Amino acid sequence: MANVDIRDLIVDVAQYVRRCPTATLLQAYSRAAHNFFRQSRWWRVSVPGATAANTQVYSLGSDPYADIVGIQAMSGSKTSGSQTSYFALSPSDPNSWNPSFENQQPLTYSYVPEGQFALFPIPDAIYQLLVTVQVTPKHSATVLDENLLPKWRQAIEAGALAYLLNIPRQPWTDPTGAMRNSIAFQAAINNAKADEQRSFNTGGQMAKKRPFVV
């Protein structure tokens, strides 16, 4: 993942809030990026790994700059000799899982905050998995994946300005500008949600692989 320092991204925002401290600018930009991707679920990462026999819960790993907020899709495969068979897993409510069910090829999964998932039935062997997870930058992130910026940089800037212009009793305070940017920010989130859904329905992927060991 190629990252861009947020300090290099706040220049345009700073022009609208002159004399705003750099620390406040960084906080606003990071906050807007976090909120945008948490609400839109647009940013996805492909996480490959494998099950272990008789193990139900797995970790998706961790990243210093991003948090996993959900699972978009999961698929698996098993190789026997020269033949590889593929299968899809469906999301499921773990309260409906029968704990006495015989271990076998998993059919369903459940996301377990933070950054884990459980499988049912419990795997009886090693199966390869590809998990497409939904990701958001951490609140404290100081960098962003550069692949997010061409499409959504203006949206994140609007989110940052909606927050900054609404801070009371500051030289740059502008409630009207804050409202205008807040509307633009929410519109971009709605567009990103629609974009993500269209991509999912057509089988598209806005994802980068991130290896892990389960």
| Secondary structure of 91-122 as H, E, C letters | ECCHHHCCCCCCCCCCCEEEEECCCEEEEECC
pLDDT at 147: 87
What is the per-residue pLDDT for 195?
A: 83
- Amino acid (one-letter) located at 134: Q
Cα–Cα distance for residue pair 209/14, rounded to 1 Å: 34
* Average confidence (pLDDT) over 206-213: 51
Q: Quote the CA–CA distance of 131 and 88 in Å, as a whole number.
A: 10
- Considering only CA atoms, give the Rg of the chain: 21
Strand partners, 89: 74
What average pLDDT does this structure show over 157-177?
96
Instruction: Classify burial at 131, counting beta carbons within 10 Å of its beta carbon; exposed 0-12, middle 13-18, buried 19 or more.
Output: buried
Q: How confident is the model at residue 202 (pLDDT cuts 50, 70, 90)?
A: very low
Contact between 38 and 136 (Cβ < 8 Å): yes
Confidence label for 139 from pLDDT (cuts 50, 70 and 90): confident
In tens, the pLDDT along 85-110 reads: 999 999 999 999 999 999 999 999 99
CA gap 127, 107 in Å, rounded? 12
pLDDT at 178 over 70: yes
Q: What is the Cα 131 distance to its own chain's centre?
A: 12
Q: Please, is 50 exposed, middle or buried when counting C-beta atoms within 10 Å of its C-beta (0-12, 13-18, 19+)? A: middle
- Beta carbons of 72 and 90 less than 8 angstroms apart: no
